[in-house]
Structure 1
Amino acid sequence: MAWSYRKRIKIIPGVHLNISRKGISTNIGVKGASVTFGHDATYVNTVSGRHKVPPPRPVKSVASPAVVTLPQGNIFSIAPAEITNQDMQGVKEAILSAHQQRRELNHDLQQIKLALKGSQSQLTLSYVFLYGLIVPSIAKKIKERIAAQKMAIEEINQELEKSRMELDISFDADILQKYEAVKAAFVQLSHSKKIWDVTSAMQENRRVTRSAASTVVDKREVRIGIQSIEDIYANVEPLWFKNANGADLYFYPGFIIMYDTKDRFGIIDMKELQFNFLPVRFIERGVVPSDAKVIDYTWDKVNKNGAPDKRFRDNFQIPIVRYGAITLRTAAGVNEEYEFSNYEAAELFSEAFIDFQKVIKGGY
């Protein structure tokens, strides 16, 4: 390896989002090309002209539990690579370019670190066996090589910092307040004592089980929080939802990244997301989380009228608690559901998110 290391890196296109009451304008930092989202249609601007393409079909977001039904069967999304629409393809390509370049640089970095370790060992041995002292030029050349290798490592680290897709997001002042409300509510929601990813829901045969539950769900405890993607440098950190049976979700203002691995991910325009909130009555056979509220009681074995089934001698009462549930769906195949022990925090986040999503859709 030549120790006058000079790897030419390409500039990763940056992405600028401007969020206003007219909707979102998205500009990808390649000369002669940008994508702008407006009220009535999407326009792709190129050096050869301006072409109109059909607007995305509007998706209604609701918070009323009266019009929301729990999905049945396994609850999971399709492979993330299959969900990116045409408008988001340029953003995805910029992220992939950043990842490819970072992978190549990290490979070079490991090779040089390995060579540096060999040079340092060689210098030590030159002194142990005295030939480095007897012939000073030998030690001098090794030291020069070590200095060049250390400089190469420093240069690669600097190039790694530049090899990210830069995402710059700007807001109108009043819309920024709406997004700050979303983020604050999300942080509060992340402090829920229990957070679950619901992975399946099946109808219960109550005649057989004598249970008060009409639906049996399988859910796994997960975490949410503020967490970034390595190949993206953004001035606004995304809201992260851990996914127990698929790709994690990263919510940026304007779009959502379903992230499985650095090579397998998809990007969803936030306008396409159907975001719903509903209260859930859950028969809690485990420990009731300290931030959940017991709203009723039932029996382990019950009759249709809710009275205890007296045929079972050791029948006992079970608390019914109220949890908050959020469902995330798109026509392209996103299908996720989360439950939170803190109902009020889930409701507050949902209200703030739906309010912000109206801006994304150009609703007001």
Structure 2
Amino acid sequence: MDMILFIVVAAIVALVIFLFSRQKKRPTAINKPLSFSHAPAPPAVSEAKSPAYGLAEKLKQSLPSQYAELVKKRVLSAHPGMTEREFEWRWLELQRFFILCAVLDRVPMFSKRIDDVWHEMLMFTREYQAFSEKYLGRMLHHAPNVSDDVPMPGERAWFDLVYIELFGRNPYSELLWGPFLRYPVPRQELELFQAPLLATSQDGRFNAWAYEHIPEAKYAIQVMKEKLQDRIERAKHKIHEKPANFSNTDLLMTSAIFFAWNEPEHFDEHMATLDEIKKDRSGSDCSGGFGCTSNYDDSRSSNNDSHHHCSSGSDGGSGSSCNSGSSCSGGSSCSSYEGGGCSS
């Protein structure tokens, strides 16, 4: 009798273990790639607490609503498969790009989809010139590429650093720009932004002309430099509080500077470890590039994307130099593409 009871109990235990193991092996649901099909409405160009808020307001005042509506109609007509919601996100990111052009000396445009909107905006030549001069006090040029494509991780590193500092991180923004924080800012460049140079505008990285002529840009640049200096000092003294996730911009930027300064060879590994956002959410690890620059010395490439830059010169081509560029996340296979540039 005891033997029969033992066998029955053993059989029940074995059955429970079997069923539990089958349940664990059931395939989990695959996360669908992020898309604009069900995207929320985009946020404001800049939050009020951001150092970019003044520039965002100046940009808004420089862009007549009638002009924005003409651009929207032209873009949707040229891209019949694009939804109004996707256009809204592309338009948001183009405006943020223009703000970056007022803050940085050179800004590659790392997104073909955003550059497509910029191209259509340029078709209204008089309106575009009026916008540029009211916003920056000079023409914001979009120049074609005239040189061969070469890697430019340093430019993408600065783009990511300043973009996230000013606007934070959003998965739909990253869907357009490509993965953020995959490259470290070179330590030799960070060393230039220590205390002695904070009060100057001639640092080679931030927009010296805008610093001298646009109060909103000067304020944003000063705040950026102060935060940069503080984070460099923390990195030098090995002071680092690891963020639990990437929702805290301050901790995220502190981490980016800390690893760029102390462990640049493992930067991508460290930042990917911290990143809680799934790599496959966008269905691609590559992004295109276009932008705003004065003296390009490197660039990056992307899958079948074009590449341009913007230039804020006082005349049709003064001060601009063009190079190709693109961005590509680590581990992906990317092809080179045509590009251009802008300078301040």
TM-score calculated relative to the size of structure 1: 0.20
Q: RCO greater where, 1 or 2, for CA within 8 Å and sep 6 or more?
A: 2
Q: Larger Cα Rg: Structure 1 or Structure 2? A: 1
Bigger helix fraction = 2
Bigger strand fraction = 1
